[in-house]
Amino acid sequence: MDAVTFDGHGDTEVIGYDEVPDPEVGRDEVLVDVKAGALNHLDVWTRRGMPGLDLEMPHVPGSDGAGVVTEVGAAVTRFSAGDRVALSAGVSCGDCEFCRNGEYPLCASFHVIGEHVPGVHSEYAAIPADNLVPVPDHVDWETAAAAPLVFQTAWRMLNTRADVSPGESVLVLGASGGVGHAAVQIADHAGAEVYATASTEEKLRYAEELGADHVVNYEEADFADEIRAETGKRGVDVVVDHVGEATWDDSLQSLAKGGRLVTCGATTGGRPETHVQRVFWNQLDILGSTMATPGEVDDALEHVWDGTFDVRIRDVLPMSESARAHELLENREGFGKVVVRPDSELD
């Protein structure tokens, strides 16, 4: 079969589309005929190489994908050949104290398909049955592939970790990205007053379409100053920051007293300076969040499947053009998710 691969870390020139061995299906796995995959910034960082990441090369990336079941392992009872499924990429041990308490993302063995082990940007993929969710017949493959990672991540950030209540105010940074555009909709659905930042007027208009009440072009204004002005110097109750170093101080400055900053990533760097006095004097909470529990995944995707949440697709490309797909993310081109499909699906 053909698959997206890289055999070393680096820039986009390391990405290929090559023939690799067909996957073998284990007892607890399902073989999926992949119809579409989607990219996340996680794919960019995996390709570049992260501290502590030790991959078997060549590596097949991809933590988002959807397709049709063609074969099931001997121990699998949840799925049958012909079922439509999508990947939920977080893998936990299922037996530690955190897993027993339902907090799967806190598992010491937690890892991500596509990041730590081979992913699904390929014609076929063998996936643990526990990492698949059913996809209704009316949902198209691009939506099914693009929704799971970002919507489960944003759902846990806002509903579980930050516990957003109706009437609160939420600032979403980078509203044009995958997590950002999901977070705008989830905050709006929770009854919050939503502030959003983006780098162009076109992206800001998209954010407004999805539920943002106030928008800030961070290329033209300091968003912390704008938020303080918009809120009468009060600040917002919650900031959703997946940017990291470049926005960290302004995010803290944007919070009201007793506010919460919730973070799931650091695309501009993971070691920002923190004014600790601001944290304790204003009694701020800094909350980390990673992906979601199975129940949170189901809750988030139910709202995608029924059309409550809109998965925006900025481009659909053949998997052989995955280097270009990575560039779209790195250069912040467009609004929403980038989808890749096996070349054989586009013939």
Alpha helices in 34-79 (DSSP H): 41-48
Nearest-angstrom CA–CA distance, 335 and 306: 22
347, pLDDT greater than 80: no
Residues contacting 138, CB < 8 A, separation 6+: none
Q: Which tens digit of pLDDT belongs to each residue from 172-201?
A: 999 999 999 999 999 999 999 999 999 999
265, pLDDT greater than 90: no
Q: Which tens digit of pLDDT belongs to each residue from 270-289?
A: 888 898 999 999 999 999 99
Q: Which tens digit of pLDDT belongs to each residue from 297-323?
A: 999 999 999 999 999 999 999 999 999
Q: Within 13 Å, how many C-alpha atoms sit on residue 272's CB side?
A: 21
Q: Which tens digit of pLDDT belongs to each residue from 210-260?
A: 999 999 999 999 999 999 999 999 999 999 999 988 999 999 999 999 999
Nearest C-alpha neighbor of 195 from the set 228, 244, 151, 165? 228
Q: Please, which residues bridge with residue 238 across strands?
A: 170, 260
Q: Which tens digit of pLDDT belongs to each residue from 118-168?
A: 999 999 999 999 999 999 999 999 999 999 999 999 999 999 999 999 999
Nearest-angstrom CA–CA distance, 185 and 275: 30
Q: Give yes or no for a contact between 171 and 197, defined as CB atoms under 8 angstroms apart.
A: yes
Phi, psi of 299 (to 5 degrees): -65, -45
Model pLDDT, residue 41: 92
- From residue 107, alpha-carbon distances to 15, 26, 95 in Å are 31, 23, 9
Q: Please, which residues bridge with residue 105 across strands?
A: none
Model pLDDT, residue 51: 80
Domains and CATH numbers, the chain: 2-147+311-346 (3.90.180.10), 151-288 (3.90.180.10)
DSSP line for 298-311: HHHHHHHHTTSS--
